[in-house]
A and B are shown apart, each in its own frame.
Chain A
Amino acid sequence: MTAMTRLAQWVAMAAALIAAPASADFSLLNMTQGVTESSRDIYGLHMTIFTITVVIGVGVFGAMFYSIFRHRKSRGVEPSKFHHSTTMEIVWTVIPLVILVAMAVPATQVLIDLDDTTNSEMTVEVTGYQWFWGYKYKGEDVQFLSRLDTDSDRARRLDSGIQPASVDNYLQNVDQRLVLPVDTRVRFQITGADVIHSWWMPDLGWKKDAIPGYVNEMWTEIEEPGVYRGRCAELCGRDHGFMPVVVEALPKAEFDEWLANRQAGGTGMTADSDETPETDGELAAR
């Protein structure tokens, strides 16, 4: 290999390094604000604490870099001898304490709010299995399992030869979505059937562990109709990466229709379900 081609390779690599972030979608740099009041509260906390750390960082690193540039031996400076200042040490113990207290107050409020699962209008039981989710609408006689959709499932095999990018919503699509009404306070009761899983829906601002023998509670009230995607967040074995969560929020009337159809033995597919039902029999039923 000549030096020239080697150089060309380096340049290409460096270009790739710079171009990769440039072509990235910059909405993917931060936490989502989500579609519930809680998720927006959480986003707010996240941005506040992030801003505080940036401000502190600018101060501390500013002082450090100033010192690195000004107080270097090559500039011929004489090192000073001080090694102690009680005042300074008290100051930089107390000021962070005050900042932390200021931070803890809103965090506590949000936490108290999230913790209150009373006054819910409906309840959904969520069960984690190796490796899919089960949903049950309490008191409605509707329950089903929700698995990775077949397209993703085929593409994700080792050496499948299928480009992930060619699959619609690769790894974040399921055969049966959890359908929920908007503007309704929904309570979730979450448990695990075999090992610990974790039900995570970023747009709702929630992640809650699904633990065998435990029933965890959380609540949400979705404000906008839409399809929201999340995933299992607790290592649960071989196919942990392949058990997505998909929630479809419908206006109330449509939801009631959906529920009635489902109770009457319908497929539970909604108008814009991602996937056509598996079998002809199911298709006919629809």
Chain B
Amino acid sequence: MTATTYDHAAHEGEPTGFKRWLVTTNHKDIGSMYLLFSLAMFLLGGAMALVIRAELFQPGLQIVDPYFFNQMTTMHALVMIFGAVMPAFTGLANWMIPLMVGAPDMALPRMNNWSFWLLPFGFAVLLSTLFMPGGGPAGGWTMYPPLMLQTGTAFPFVIFAIHVLGISSIMGSINVIATILNMRAPGMSLMKMPLFVWTWLITAYLMIAVMPVLAGAVTMLLTDQYFGTTFFSAAGGGDPVLYQHIFWFFGHPEVYILILPAFGIISTIIPTFARKPLFGYSSMVYATASIAFLSFIVWAHHMFTVGMPLAGELFFMYSTMLIAVPTGVKVFNWVSTMWRGAMTFEAPMLFALAFVFLFTIGGFSGLMLAIAPADFQYHDTYFVVAHFHYVLVTGAVFAILAAAYYWMPKWTGHMYSERLAQWHFWMSVIFVNVLFFPQHFLGLAGMPRRIPDYSVQFADWNMVSSIGGFGFGFAQLIFVWLLIKCIRGGQQAEAKAWEGASGLEWDVPSPAPHHTFDTPPVVR
């Protein structure tokens, strides 16, 4: 394997300062911008979550008006999904996919720049709605009509923002697909690609398939509001449940968009720190593909209580249960990779292990939710809130943190402070469970989700959960501090920063030079 790399850092005529970032077409610059943007949104969405947890600390209303509370739950979800998790994955894709497949850059660098810069713009629009007359959107991130149609001035701006974010995601995905299919180094066949690349390839197809569906759904909301259509209004011959079908036809694949790249990350990190090849590479690829396929035929499991015909309920119950099979295969493969390895426990590995443990708990509650009659009780309660935070926070977010630690030496050229990282990990993993585990109890005991106030029997666990929330939020500041320190200095990282690492990205020096693989490496 040869890796020809040289540094063009001092390109003549290349703009400097802010303009450099504005017009850059370099996948590493764009990747860094995506990642930093995502971190900022993570902190902002987290602040919103803390408003929610502060209000729920005790029964009674102490801090916010119920309508503002609803705006916070809505915005928190939109910011976390479209602002924190998705851009973080795109940032990782930008940085790592070209390095992993031995390409000099993304296939469509100018579009890459454009797809990033749409994001801050889209979020500026979305967040500005909080200051509009009537406030921001307050109908939940699912935006069900008719409730969503009661939104004030913010309404068209929210829909516009969603279009912008959707376009950005689609462009990002096109770029990923074009890069993976066309720019792999000679010798890198599809079945030799790192799993992170594979999972992203499949994710990108999912995104291209479903983002337009979301765009369609919200556009129909827009025309219902302003142009006299009645797609979702029973009074005009439409159907409010139709919206839910369209939304979840997007929404369920979306939750897999939020987790498949995480599967790829975990499948990269565990072998490195177990010093043993990934168990069942090809079954990992097939499992990812089957999850992606199944994700298109399970959407109505979010709608068991809308009053579907029996046959429909049965179909969606069975298909949802089926998803547990390929998901199980993944978990078994990760555990088998650890089996008889020689493990060490640096921060990336700790987050990856926590991922396997806690994501699986989220998968278990998912399986429980799939049982339609039981879901009649669970649906729209804190049990569901616990479920999706286990898969999204201890799943997606933990994987992103694991990836950040894993590749930070490659990005910055410095080793991060392992001591701070250990603090960050242990604080996060303890508090996240204090935060979300009791929510299972709350849901089972009868607490609905999306309420600003509750009856007193729920007081104890809510207080525990809020303490966990503040602890978890505080722990993330350690990460911010660690990141700043690592960017500014620290122990010099070697090209191959981890003893057990493998892959083309470890052939280039750390920090990765501005231009890499101008001559493609040869993979044998």
Contact = CB atoms under 8 A, between A and B. Distances in A.
Looking at A56, A96, A214, A216, which has the most chain B CB atoms within 10 Å of its CB? Answer: A96
Nearest to A215: B307
Interface in B344-385: 344-345, 353, 356-357, 360-361, 364, 367-368, 371-374, 376-377, 379-381
A64 B374 contact: no
Nearest to B375: A207
B513 to A, nearest CB: 31
Contact of B341 (A24, A67, A93): A67
B455 A170 contact: yes
B353 A68 contact: yes
Given A53-B368, A236-B147, A115 B310 contact: yes
Given A17-B467, A49-B374, A64 B240 contact: no
A264 interface: no
Interface string A85-111: 100110011001100100110011011
Contact of A241 (B66, B239, B280, B457): B66
A169 B446 CA distance: 14
Given A17-B434, A53-B367, A92 B340 contact: no
B484 interface: no
Interface in A218-253: 230-242
- Most chain A beta-carbon contacts within 10 A, residue among B277, B438, B451: B451
Contacts of A64: 335, 338, 353, 356-357
A78 B343 CA distance: 10
Interface stretch (A132-140, A174-182, A193-201, A265-273): A193-201
Interface string A71-87: 11110011111111100
Nearest to B66: A238
B305 A42 contact: no
Centre residue among B65, B150, B336, B353 by max chain A CB count within 10 A? B336
Size class of the B contact interface (CB-based, 8 Å): 35 or more
Contacts of B64: 158
A160 interface: yes
Looking at A78, A108, A163, which has the most chain B CB atoms within 10 Å of its CB? Answer: A108
B306 A211 contact: yes
Given A97-B325, A217-B307, A30 B444 contact: yes
Contacts of A213: 233-235, 239-240
B441 A111 contact: no
Nearest to A63: B335
Contacts of B461: 20-21, 24, 28
Nearest to A42: B373
Interface in A22-61: 23-25, 28-32, 41-42, 45-46, 49-50, 53, 56-57, 60-61
Contacts, number: 293
Contacts of A112: 310
A196 to B, nearest CB: 6
Contact of A196 (B240, B338, B377, B445): B240
Given A83-B279, A89-B280, A111-B314, A165 B456 contact: yes
Nearest to A83: B277
Interface in B55-107: 58-62, 64-67, 70
Nearest to A80: B340
Interface stretch (B194-202, B209-217, B326-334, B504-512): B326-334
B338 A231 contact: no
A277 interface: no
A241 B458 CA distance: 13
Contacts of A63: 335, 339
B178 interface: no
Contacts of A25: 457, 460
Interface of A: 13, 16-17, 20-21, 23-25, 28-32, 41-42, 45-46, 49-50, 53, 56-57, 60-61, 63-64, 67-68, 71-74, 77-85, 88-89, 92-93, 96-97, 100, 103-104, 107-108, 110-112, 114-115, 155-160, 162-165, 169-172, 194-196, 198, 200, 202, 205-209, 211-214, 216-217, 230-242
15 contacts: A20-B464, A31-B444, A53-B364, A63-B335, A72-B344, A79-B341, A81-B276, A82-B279, A104-B321, A156-B453, A158-B64, A209-B305, A212-B146, A236-B147, A241-B453
Interface of B: 58-62, 64-67, 70, 138-140, 144, 146-147, 150, 233-235, 239-241, 274-281, 283, 305-307, 310, 313-314, 317-318, 321-322, 324-325, 328-329, 331-332, 335-345, 353, 356-357, 360-361, 364, 367-368, 371-374, 376-377, 379-381, 434, 438, 441, 444-446, 448-461, 463-464, 467
